[in-house]
Chains A and B, each alone.
Chain A
Amino acid sequence: EADIYQTPRYLVIGTGKKITLECSQTMGHDKMYWYQQDPGMELHLIHYSYGVNSTEKGDLSSESTVSRIRTEHFPLTLESARPSHTSQYLCASSGGYLRAYGYTFGSGTRLTVV
Protein backbone atom coordinates (compact mmCIF):
# COMPACT_ATOMS: atom_id res chain seq x y z
CA GLU A 1 0.00 0.00 0.00
CA ALA A 2 1.60 3.25 -1.16
CA ASP A 3 1.99 5.98 1.44
CA ILE A 4 2.93 8.61 -1.10
CA TYR A 5 0.61 9.35 -3.96
CA GLN A 6 1.17 11.07 -7.26
CA THR A 7 -1.52 12.16 -9.67
CA PRO A 8 -2.03 11.91 -12.53
CA ARG A 9 0.00 8.84 -13.51
CA TYR A 10 0.03 9.87 -17.14
CA LEU A 11 -0.61 13.27 -18.70
CA VAL A 12 -0.57 14.38 -22.33
CA ILE A 13 -0.98 18.10 -22.74
CA GLY A 14 -0.53 20.77 -25.39
CA THR A 15 2.26 23.34 -25.50
CA GLY A 16 1.59 26.47 -23.48
CA LYS A 17 -0.82 24.90 -21.00
CA LYS A 18 -0.41 25.32 -17.25
CA ILE A 19 -0.17 22.05 -15.34
CA THR A 20 0.13 20.96 -11.73
CA LEU A 21 1.50 17.58 -10.72
CA GLU A 22 0.19 16.47 -7.35
CA CYS A 23 2.15 14.69 -4.62
CA SER A 24 0.75 13.78 -1.20
CA GLN A 25 2.09 11.64 1.61
CA THR A 26 0.40 10.27 4.72
CA MET A 27 3.51 9.53 6.76
CA GLY A 28 4.00 12.97 8.32
CA HIS A 29 7.43 13.29 6.71
CA ASP A 30 9.04 16.73 6.88
CA LYS A 31 11.29 16.39 3.82
CA MET A 32 9.93 16.05 0.32
CA TYR A 33 11.65 15.97 -3.06
CA TRP A 34 10.92 16.17 -6.77
CA TYR A 35 13.11 14.31 -9.25
CA GLN A 36 13.08 14.45 -13.04
CA GLN A 37 14.08 11.19 -14.69
CA ASP A 38 15.65 11.39 -18.12
CA PRO A 39 15.22 8.75 -20.87
CA GLY A 40 18.52 7.17 -19.78
CA MET A 41 16.85 6.66 -16.36
CA GLU A 42 19.19 9.01 -14.47
CA LEU A 43 17.55 10.92 -11.62
CA HIS A 44 17.94 14.69 -11.31
CA LEU A 45 16.86 16.55 -8.18
CA ILE A 46 14.85 19.63 -9.21
CA HIS A 47 13.16 20.76 -5.96
CA TYR A 48 13.11 19.90 -2.28
CA SER A 49 11.45 21.04 0.92
CA TYR A 50 12.41 20.69 4.58
CA GLY A 51 8.92 21.50 5.82
CA VAL A 52 5.97 23.86 5.57
CA ASN A 53 6.85 27.11 3.76
CA SER A 54 10.32 25.78 2.89
CA THR A 55 11.25 25.18 -0.76
CA GLU A 56 14.62 25.07 -2.49
CA LYS A 57 15.87 24.41 -6.00
CA GLY A 58 17.86 21.26 -6.60
CA ASP A 59 20.86 20.36 -8.72
CA LEU A 60 19.09 20.56 -12.08
CA SER A 61 17.69 23.89 -13.19
CA SER A 62 13.97 23.62 -13.86
CA GLU A 63 11.29 26.03 -15.07
CA SER A 64 8.84 24.44 -12.67
CA THR A 65 7.86 25.81 -9.27
CA VAL A 66 6.73 24.11 -6.07
CA SER A 67 4.87 25.03 -2.91
CA ARG A 68 4.59 23.51 0.57
CA ILE A 69 1.60 24.93 2.39
CA ARG A 70 0.77 21.68 4.20
CA THR A 71 3.14 19.00 5.45
CA GLU A 72 1.48 16.28 3.41
CA HIS A 73 1.23 18.12 0.10
CA PHE A 74 4.02 19.15 -2.32
CA PRO A 75 2.65 20.07 -5.76
CA LEU A 76 4.80 20.96 -8.78
CA THR A 77 3.58 23.53 -11.32
CA LEU A 78 4.60 24.34 -14.86
CA GLU A 79 3.15 27.70 -15.92
CA SER A 80 3.62 27.06 -19.65
CA ALA A 81 4.41 23.53 -20.73
CA ARG A 82 6.87 22.89 -23.56
CA PRO A 83 7.94 19.69 -25.36
CA SER A 84 11.29 19.91 -23.53
CA HIS A 85 9.35 19.28 -20.28
CA THR A 86 8.37 15.82 -21.47
CA SER A 87 9.73 13.47 -18.81
CA GLN A 88 8.96 11.21 -15.87
CA TYR A 89 8.55 13.17 -12.60
CA LEU A 90 9.06 11.35 -9.30
CA CYS A 91 8.11 12.62 -5.85
CA ALA A 92 9.77 11.29 -2.69
CA SER A 93 9.70 11.92 1.05
CA SER A 94 11.84 11.11 4.06
CA GLY A 95 11.28 11.11 7.79
CA GLY A 96 13.63 12.04 10.59
CA TYR A 97 16.19 9.26 10.16
CA LEU A 98 17.24 9.08 6.55
CA ARG A 99 20.23 6.83 7.27
CA ALA A 100 17.96 4.03 8.42
CA TYR A 101 14.98 4.38 6.10
CA GLY A 102 16.00 6.21 2.95
CA TYR A 103 13.35 7.77 0.74
CA THR A 104 9.83 6.61 -0.02
CA PHE A 105 8.90 7.27 -3.65
CA GLY A 106 5.58 7.77 -5.37
CA SER A 107 4.69 5.91 -8.56
CA GLY A 108 5.58 8.88 -10.75
CA THR A 109 3.85 11.04 -13.35
CA ARG A 110 4.78 10.56 -16.97
CA LEU A 111 4.28 13.90 -18.69
CA THR A 112 4.15 14.30 -22.46
CA VAL A 113 3.89 17.77 -23.96
CA VAL A 114 2.84 17.86 -27.60
Chain B
Amino acid sequence: GNSVTQMEGPVTLSEEAFLTINCTYTATGYPSLFWYVQYPGEGLQLLLKATKADDKGSNKGFEATYRKETTSFHLEKGSVQVSDSAVYFCALTAYNQAGTALIFGKGTTLSVSS
Protein backbone atom coordinates (compact mmCIF):
# COMPACT_ATOMS: atom_id res chain seq x y z
CA GLY B 1 0.00 0.00 0.00
CA ASN B 2 0.92 3.66 -0.03
CA SER B 3 2.76 5.03 2.97
CA VAL B 4 5.18 7.69 4.18
CA THR B 5 7.87 7.16 6.79
CA GLN B 6 9.56 10.10 8.48
CA MET B 7 12.39 10.15 10.93
CA GLU B 8 11.17 10.29 14.50
CA GLY B 9 11.63 13.45 16.46
CA PRO B 10 12.12 15.59 18.23
CA VAL B 11 15.02 17.04 16.33
CA THR B 12 16.86 19.59 18.46
CA LEU B 13 19.33 21.99 16.84
CA SER B 14 21.14 25.18 17.59
CA GLU B 15 20.53 28.25 15.45
CA GLU B 16 22.47 28.20 12.13
CA ALA B 17 22.88 24.42 12.20
CA PHE B 18 22.22 22.27 9.13
CA LEU B 19 18.89 20.47 9.04
CA THR B 20 17.93 17.17 7.46
CA ILE B 21 14.60 15.48 8.04
CA ASN B 22 14.39 12.12 6.31
CA CYS B 23 11.32 11.01 4.41
CA THR B 24 10.89 7.79 2.45
CA TYR B 25 7.79 6.54 0.75
CA THR B 26 6.07 3.51 -0.71
CA ALA B 27 3.68 4.14 -3.56
CA THR B 28 2.30 2.71 -6.75
CA GLY B 29 2.62 4.80 -9.85
CA TYR B 30 4.21 8.25 -9.80
CA PRO B 31 3.05 10.28 -6.83
CA SER B 32 3.59 13.96 -6.16
CA LEU B 33 5.47 14.65 -2.95
CA PHE B 34 4.94 17.47 -0.46
CA TRP B 35 6.33 18.93 2.73
CA TYR B 36 3.94 20.73 5.04
CA VAL B 37 4.85 22.75 8.14
CA GLN B 38 2.70 23.30 11.22
CA TYR B 39 3.63 26.13 13.59
CA PRO B 40 2.36 25.96 17.19
CA GLY B 41 -1.38 26.44 17.42
CA GLU B 42 -1.85 26.62 13.65
CA GLY B 43 -2.99 24.45 10.77
CA LEU B 44 -0.66 22.94 8.19
CA GLN B 45 0.91 25.12 5.49
CA LEU B 46 2.38 23.89 2.25
CA LEU B 47 6.16 24.37 2.39
CA LEU B 48 7.28 22.87 -0.92
CA LYS B 49 6.40 20.21 -3.45
CA ALA B 50 7.75 18.12 -6.33
CA THR B 51 5.60 16.46 -8.96
CA LYS B 52 8.06 14.19 -10.78
CA ALA B 53 11.36 12.39 -10.31
CA ASP B 54 14.47 14.60 -9.97
CA ASP B 55 12.36 17.71 -9.35
CA LYS B 56 13.64 19.93 -6.55
CA GLY B 57 11.12 21.83 -4.48
CA SER B 58 12.32 24.88 -2.57
CA ASN B 59 10.87 27.62 -0.37
CA LYS B 60 12.13 29.85 2.48
CA GLY B 61 15.59 28.25 2.34
CA PHE B 62 14.21 24.71 2.56
CA GLU B 63 14.84 22.20 -0.24
CA ALA B 64 13.87 18.64 -1.08
CA THR B 65 14.63 16.53 -4.15
CA TYR B 66 12.32 13.80 -5.46
CA ARG B 67 14.55 10.69 -5.65
CA LYS B 68 12.70 7.85 -7.33
CA GLU B 69 15.64 5.44 -7.15
CA THR B 70 15.76 5.68 -3.35
CA THR B 71 12.04 6.54 -2.90
CA SER B 72 13.01 9.52 -0.78
CA PHE B 73 12.18 13.21 -0.37
CA HIS B 74 14.44 14.45 2.42
CA LEU B 75 13.96 18.00 3.68
CA GLU B 76 17.09 20.14 4.11
CA LYS B 77 18.00 23.64 5.19
CA GLY B 78 21.48 25.02 5.39
CA SER B 79 21.03 27.29 8.41
CA VAL B 80 18.00 26.98 10.67
CA GLN B 81 16.50 29.80 12.71
CA VAL B 82 14.53 29.77 15.95
CA SER B 83 11.47 30.69 13.87
CA ASP B 84 11.75 27.34 12.04
CA SER B 85 10.67 25.51 15.18
CA ALA B 86 7.57 23.60 14.10
CA VAL B 87 6.26 20.19 13.12
CA TYR B 88 7.09 19.04 9.58
CA PHE B 89 4.97 16.56 7.63
CA CYS B 90 5.95 14.67 4.50
CA ALA B 91 3.06 13.63 2.23
CA LEU B 92 2.33 12.00 -1.11
CA THR B 93 -0.62 11.74 -3.46
CA ALA B 94 -2.20 8.33 -3.63
CA TYR B 95 -5.38 6.61 -4.69
CA ASN B 96 -7.41 5.13 -1.88
CA GLN B 97 -11.04 4.90 -0.93
CA ALA B 98 -11.18 8.70 -0.92
CA GLY B 99 -10.12 8.84 -4.54
CA THR B 100 -6.95 10.84 -4.92
CA ALA B 101 -5.87 11.97 -1.48
CA LEU B 102 -2.79 12.96 0.47
CA ILE B 103 -1.13 10.37 2.68
CA PHE B 104 0.81 11.98 5.54
CA GLY B 105 3.74 10.82 7.59
CA LYS B 106 3.54 11.04 11.37
CA GLY B 107 5.32 14.37 11.55
CA THR B 108 8.73 15.39 12.88
CA THR B 109 9.04 18.05 15.56
CA LEU B 110 11.93 20.49 15.11
CA SER B 111 13.11 22.62 18.01
CA VAL B 112 15.75 25.29 17.35
CA SER B 113 17.44 27.11 20.20
CA SER B 114 19.41 30.35 20.10
Contacts and interface: CB of A to CB of B under 8 A. Distances in A.
Given A98-B93, A102-B49, A41 B109 contact: yes
Given A41-B109, A43-B89, A102-B34, A107 B102 contact: no
**B contacts with A: majority SS:** strand
Interface in A62-107: 90, 92, 98-100, 102-107
B107 A41 contact: yes
Contacts, number: 64
B38 interface: yes
Contact of B51 (A99, A106, A108, A110): A99
A92 B43 CA distance: 9
A48 B98 contact: yes
A42 interface: yes
Contacts of A108: 41-43
B38 A99 contact: no
A99 B46 CA distance: 13
Contact of A106 (B34, B43, B49, B91): B43
Interface size of A as a range: 20 to 34
Given A42-B107, A90-B44, A48 B89 contact: no
Contact of A105 (B44, B49, B51, B100): B44
A43 B43 CA distance: 11
B98 A58 contact: yes
A41 B102 contact: no
Given A90-B43, A108-B41, 5 more contacts: A42-B104, A45-B101, A99-B100, A100-B49, A102-B34
22 contacts: A6-B43, A33-B98, A40-B106, A41-B106, A41-B109, A42-B106, A45-B101, A50-B99, A56-B97, A58-B98, A90-B44, A92-B43, A92-B44, A98-B93, A99-B32, A99-B51, A100-B32, A102-B32, A102-B34, A104-B46, A107-B42, A110-B41
Interface of B: 31-32, 34, 36, 38, 41-46, 49, 51, 87, 89, 91, 93, 97-102, 104, 106-107, 109
